[in-house]
Every structure is written in C-alpha cells, then in structure tokens.
Structure 1
Amino acid sequence: MLLSELKTGERGVIVKVIGHSGFRKRIIEMGFIKGKTVEVLLNAPLNDPIKYKILGYEISLRRQEAGMIEIISEQEAKEQVLRPGIYYGALAGKYTHFNDEDLRRIALGKRRTINVALVGNPNCGKTSLFNLASGAHEHVGNYSGVTVSAKEGHFDFEGYRFKIVDLPGTYSLSAYTPEEIYVRRHIIEQTPDIIINVVDSSNLERNLFLTTQLIDMDVRMVVALNMYDELEASGNTLDHYLLGKLLGVPMIPTVCKKSRGIGDLFHIIINLYEGADYVDEQGIINPEVA
C-alpha cells in the first residue's frame, strides 16, 4: 500500500520510494528510508498536507508526495504472512501484533521485487532479452483507448524477482505516434524502478537519441549494449566505460541470443536499485555498477 493511504494513528514500514531521481533524492534526504517505521500524526482538515513522525522527527508531506512512498502496514503484514506460498519463519504464527522489527523484515522481503521496463528502438533485440529473461511467464497488458500493447513477465535472479515489461519499440518519446505515447505514459504513470534501455551496438548514433531523451526524464536506467558481437566483428571498438561515465549511466555489453552479459546486467540493476550511485561527486565510477 501507499503511505498516503494510512489513517491517523496508523504506522507502517517503508518498502521503497517510487518516482524519478530528483524527487526520490529529496524524499530520502528527509528521512523516508527503506526499512524505517513511519507513523501518521495528523491529517489536515482537507486531508492535505499530512504530518508524519519518522526517525524521531515530525515532517509534513503533501498527499501526492506521500502517494509515491510504498509501505507495508500491520494489517497488510498479517495478510502477507497468511498468504499461501509465502513463508516468514517465526512470523508465520504471529497473527495479532507485529513490532517494528517484524514489519521491517516483511517490508525488506517485499522490497525484493524490482519493476523493470525495457525501452528501445525497433529491432534492437529488446524482445530477445525479454524472452530470455521471462521464459514462458508472460501476458499482454495495454491501456484503454490505445491500440499498442506490451508484454509482461517475471524473472528470478540472486534472490530478487524482476517484473519485466517489454514496451513497444520506438525511436523517440515525442508523443506523436501511438508507440511513443504508450512508452512515455508507462514511464510517467507506472514509474518503473529501473529502465533497461536496449540499444543496437552496431548503430549507436541512431539508438542513443532515445537514450538522451530517457536521461532528460531523470529516470534510473541502465543501457544494454546489445548485439555487441556484431560491433566486435566489424572491427570497431567502444570504450563503454568512458561512454557510460560521460552519459552518467552504466553500459553493459550484451548478446541476448547467446545469453552473454545477462547476469552482469541484472546484477548491476540490483546494485542500482539498492541505492548505489554510478558516478560519485568526483566523477569516479562505482565499481559495483561498472
């Protein structure tokens, strides 16, 4: 559930902050950090703003801002523990009351689901990556009134579950064609935790135009330099570390048809999701996400 849904006097533990980089950074700096307990002190007469207590401080947020913070409440924790197929050890028989540490354990467990969107030009190998990761676990989703659709699937890796959406191929996010509208709308409204921008390594000049548009949207992103074997076969070379440093996003060579680089790609996504920065204030690349 979302923090904005808690009533006065109720408490919950933060699972994650949704939204794009600037907003996330500001909210986290205010103390709304994963695993921390937050309590609702007061709803204003018109339900906006809302006063919260976290880390010993009282902080007010607009309801819209609170709606971008995912939490787990005590009631939701009970439902999680009782749900078939989910095992929480000693918590399994604890139905009446959860202390802060109990809620924290459940919240951090729930946090291990990462929502990922695949974005790229047509014929860049994006769907090959989706098929490789999701296997047979997929279904089709769409927005009402829109003729294009996207495939959705899941992938388990290193103790995390990745919920992956393969968005329609597009050359731009200018919102002129149905594909552009669909992709842009998904990024803004669904706010995926991480975007995988799949690019054709043999045609970087054309593919990186979309990359720069995604950078302008200030989203957490990793670039999969797909078809990297074709770049190597052409005799060309690419310093992808330097390119990643210049653009401020990690670049990972992949060859989806041969499963090359896929493990590295998702390992780096986990590190980015858990808060690691790609480039520090001195411009030094963090080896955890390089």
Structure 2
Amino acid sequence: MTLNELHTGDSAIITRIRGRGAFRTRLTEMGFIRGKNIKVVKSAPLKDPVEYRILDSNISLRRSEASLVEVVTEKDYQPVRPIGPGKISDALQRGPVVPRPGKIIDVALVGNPNSGKTTLFNRVSRSKEHVGNYAGVTVGSKEALFNHKGYTFRITDLPGTYSLSDYSSEERFVREHILKNKPDVVVNVVDANNLERNLYLTSQLIDMDVTVVLALNMYDDLLAKKDKIDLGLLSKLLGIRVVPTISHRGKGIFRLLNHVIRVFENEEPDIRHIHINYG
C-alpha cells in the first residue's frame, strides 16, 4: 500500500521510501523515516497536494510523490527482528519467507544473455530456473524471496538483453519493469571477460539514473587468463559499486548482497550519478 491510497483521517506506518538521490534525501529531511507514524490531515480542493502529519509537523506532498512512499496499517506493522548470523542457505531452509515491513529490498537482475545472471538467481533463491546458451533463456520474469542480515530481498530475474532499446520484446520488458516497478537496486550482472559488450547495457542503466550494483561475474575465467581489473578505479569511473562474483560456484554472492544493503541504506560513499560523454 502507498501513502496516496490513504484517506483523510487515516494513519499508517512508513515502511519504505522509493526513489533515490535528492528526492529521497528531501523526504528524509522532512521526517519521512521508516517506522514512523503518519496521518492524513486533509487534501487540497482538487485533491492534490495532500497534507500529512508526521513528527509533530504538517507536510504537504503531491500525490505523485506520495505514491513512492510505502506504508502499512498500524495493526499490520511488525518491528524488524534480525535473523542472526549464518549462511544464506541456512536462512532459506528455515521455511517460507515472511516479508518484513520496512526492510524489504526490491532487486532486479539485469544482464546480457549468458552473463551468468540466472545462475546467480538460482544460487540466492535455491530455485532451478533453466540456464542455456542462447538469447531469451528467461522468457518472463522470475521472482524469489529470501532473508539476509535482517532484510527481506525480493529479487526478480529479468530476461537477458543486450540493451534497453525498444527493438525487441526482451528489451521492452526489462525497460518497462525498471520504469514501472522502480526496483530499489538493479544488480547488473556483467561477464568479466567481455566488458566492452556488457558495459553498453551498464551505460544505459546509468543514463536511466537507477541505483546499480555491478556483479562482475565469471571472475575466475578472468583470473585464469592472468588478466586484471582495477575494481576500485572501475567503481569510481562508473559511479557504482563493482563486486567480483563466480555465480556457478556461489563465490562473492554474500559480499554482493552486503553491498546491495549498503547501497540501499545510502552507506556507499563512492556511489554517484555520472554523465557519460558519447562524443
């Protein structure tokens, strides 16, 4: 449920702020913080903007802005309880995952065909999605829930695509998912051995100004060829966190998820939006 669905006099608890950058910072500065109670005071004559009461102050928001604030009723709200130490697989074996209000991270997996994207999805979700050597292996999107470090990850495996143009059904599907669902973090799975081809999609994600963490996958093949990549420099150049992974062995995934949390919580100091000069 989103804030703009509430009626005058309704109260709720904030569970998540969608969006990023200046918008998210502005709402935080005004007191829109997860776990805080908010009440609808009144609407303007044309029902836009809407006045809310939060932290003993009255704040007005446009309905388009309120639609990016997720809430739950006071009756349904449950404080977050960390799951404690342990492996991802241990947490997954404890039974069905119950989403935890305020600590849900929507993640979209985006990458070229054959980048190891679906293999990574299978690792974190313990599912058995089909993996093949041709474009369009993932016909539609697949979704999974799992808990990690007190957060519930809602992860969506999107079709493999080389770009976000509107020329194919896969490109259109991925682009529309990002624009309409506004995932908190996009994990861009990249073949470490073919950066020139794979980073074209990365550049399009950067141009869309979405929050990205780059999984530099198949890193073992790169090391086997005795090639090297300056991960710190690449992160700074792209303005996004780069994490080496070997998805078919499950290596680097724990670290990748930790960085997704840090990016979600705005705790990564080098993350910034860059403007790409295409000449």
TM-score using structure 1 length: 0.79
Task: Work out the number of aligned pairs and report it.
Answer: 248
- Kindly indicate whether residue 38 of structure 2 is the aligned counterpart of residue 38 of structure 1: yes
Unaligned runs of 5+ in 1: 88-107, 139-146, 282-290
For residue 117 of structure 2, the aligned residue among 101, 126, 131 is 126
- Kindly indicate whether residue 62 of structure 2 is the aligned counterpart of residue 62 of structure 1: yes
Q: Tell me if structure 2 keeps the 8 A contact 1:124–1:199.
A: yes
CA distance in 2, matches of 1:21, 1:267: 20
CA distance in 1, matches of 2:112, 2:218: 13
Return the structure number with greater helix share.
1
Q: Secondary structure at the match of 2:235?
A: helix
CA distance in 2, matches of 1:137, 1:56: 50
Query: How far apart are 1:60 and its partner, in Å?
Result: 1.1
Q: Secondary structure at the match of 1:252?
A: strand
- What is the 5 A alignment of 1:1-290? 1-77=1-77, 109-136=100-127, 148-279=139-270
Q: Tell me if structure 2 keeps the 8 A contact 1:148–1:168.
A: yes
CA distance in 1, matches of 2:119, 2:128: 14
Letter in 1 for 2:245: T
Q: Tell me if structure 1 keeps the 8 A contact 2:39–2:52.
A: yes
CA distance in 2, matches of 1:241, 1:150: 32
Question: Match for residue 96 of structure 1?
Answer: none
CA distance in 2, matches of 1:19, 1:221: 13
Q: Tell me if structure 2 keeps the 8 A contact 1:197–1:223.
A: yes
Q: Secondary structure at the match of 1:181?
A: helix
CA distance in 1, matches of 2:263, 2:222: 27
String of CA shifts for 1:136-167, please: whole Å, max 9, x gaps: 388xxxxxxxx941111223222322111110
String of CA shifts for 1:196-217, please: whole Å, max 9, x gaps: 1000000111111111111111
Distance 1:22 1:178, change over 3 A: farther
Distance 1:202 1:135, change over 3 A: same
CA distance in 1, matches of 2:269, 2:180: 25
Please, which moves more after superposition, 5-14 or 16-25?
A: 16-25
Q: Tell me if structure 2 keeps the 8 A contact 1:272–1:278.
A: no
TM-score using structure 2 length: 0.82
Distance 1:110 1:255, change over 3 A: same
CA distance in 1, matches of 2:180, 2:201: 19
Q: Tell me if structure 1 keeps the 8 A contact 2:15–2:103.
A: no
Unaligned runs of 5+ in 2: 82-98, 130-137, 273-279
